[in-house]
Amino acid sequence: MADALKEIGCNKCFGGFLKRYQHQSDSVQCTMKFQVYFPPGAVTEKFPVIYWLSGLTCTDENFMVKAGAQRVAAELGVALITPDTSPRGLNVEGESDSWDFGVAAGFYLNATVEKWKNWRMYDYVTKELPQVLAANFPNLDTSRASIMGHSMGGHGALTIALKNPLKYKCVSAFAPICHPINCAWGQKAFTGYLGAEDKSKWEEYDATVLVERYNGPKMDVLIDQGGNDQFLKDNQLQPEAFVEASKKNNVAVTLRIQEGYDHSYYFIATFIEDHLKRHARALFS
């Protein structure tokens, strides 16, 4: 894997370096790209990592370009990792027919329908990418990791953290899709990737179901949700369902409705510093 990793971009930023890489993925069987922001001092120090999972239509680049997170990461001494949102270049029939399924819409699950067998973003994010980082970057401490995301990526961050509570020190989300088995985006994705016959497969990737069944160590979750988010109004996100389900188990959820904010990166940029500081406190504790 180390021989396959190739640096394809590098920019100095707030004293550190934002670098883009590509490699041949074993999980999804195609070339995958990801970005790493190395804070200042990464040549001689070892830093914990925060994984950011992006939403529908996004790539590995959106967060790094739009969120304004590098300044805060530089000050806190944390590395930021942004994977892509799906396999690309496989030329599966219909993969680009719609914006909410296929390319750029991997939903951070392992598909079981044969046609979409390469859509294994859950394995990529939780297993392969951390292994690639550990094998190639001795200045990154992948044993100290946290996870966060937006929209579809918020869904990914919540479900991955709930399924792997000992792997991540902290989890937070912006406008996550909290109850995908009960909304149009999730039903379309889960039918396509997991099939319609066995709905129990869907429950494995639904944060509201997972938090209701959770029996792991104490977990604190922060969710910021724009009050003027069109997708909140369209019932795609359903954070209240997640909060209600969390009351049954050892999960403390802070849901902040940020009035006037929408679903965009303007919303994320406004509150990203608060999230990163929360993650840093957990990572350095």
Q: Which residue has the tokens 């003027």?
A: 228
Q: What is the pLDDT of residue 65?
A: 98
How many independent structural domains does the chain possess? Answer: 1
Catalytic residue (choose from 150, 263, 275, 279):
263
> Residues 241-269: pLDDT tens digits?
999 999 999 899 999 999 999 999 999 99
Segments forming the whole domain that contains residue 132: 6-284
Contact 106, 118 (CB under 8 A): no
pLDDT for residue 195: 98
Annotated active-site residue 23? The verdict is no
Can you say whether residue 24 is alpha, beta or left, with left for phi > 0 and alpha for psi between -120 and 50 degrees? beta
The pLDDT value given to residue 4 = 82
Q: Is residue 49 in some structural domain?
A: yes
Which of 60, 84, 224, 229 is an active site residue? 229
Average pLDDT of the chain to the nearest whole number: 97
34-46 per-position pLDDT tens digit: 999 999 985 677 9
Residue 1 lies in a domain: no
- pLDDT on residue 45: 78
For 19-173, where are the alpha helices, taking DSSP H only? 62-66, 70-76, 121-123, 129-136, 152-163
**Does the residue 40 lie in any domain?**
yes
| 263 is annotated as an active-site residue | yes
Separation CA 121–CA 110 (nearest Å)? 6
For 223-237, write each residue's pLDDT tens digit. Answer: 999 999 999 999 999
Selected catalytic residue, list 27, 54, 151, 246: 151
**Chain segment 146-156, per-residue pLDDT in tens:** 999 999 999 99
pLDDT at 2: 42
The set of long-range contacts for 59-62, using a CB threshold of 8 Å and a minimum separation of 24, is 59/33, 59/84, 59/85, 59/104, 60/20, 60/33, 60/34, 60/35, 60/84, 60/85, 61/20, 61/35, 62/265
Task: Give yes or no for residue 123 having a pLDDT over 60.
Answer: yes
CB 259 within 8 A of CB 227: yes
The answer to the question of residue 149 being in a domain is yes
Please write the tens of the pLDDT for every residue from 17-35: 999 999 999 999 999 999 9
23 found inside a domain: yes
pLDDT > 90 fraction of the chain, expressed in percent and rounded? 96
Give pTM, 2 decimals: 0.97
User: Would you place residue 1 in the very low, low, confident or very high pLDDT band (cuts 50, 70, 90)?
Assistant: very low
pLDDT tens digits, residue range 129-178?
999 999 999 999 999 999 999 999 999 999 999 999 999 999 999 999 99
Residue 151 is a catalytic residue: yes
Identify the CATH number of the domain in which residue 43 sits.
Answer: 3.40.50.1820
pLDDT of residue 183 exceeding 90: yes
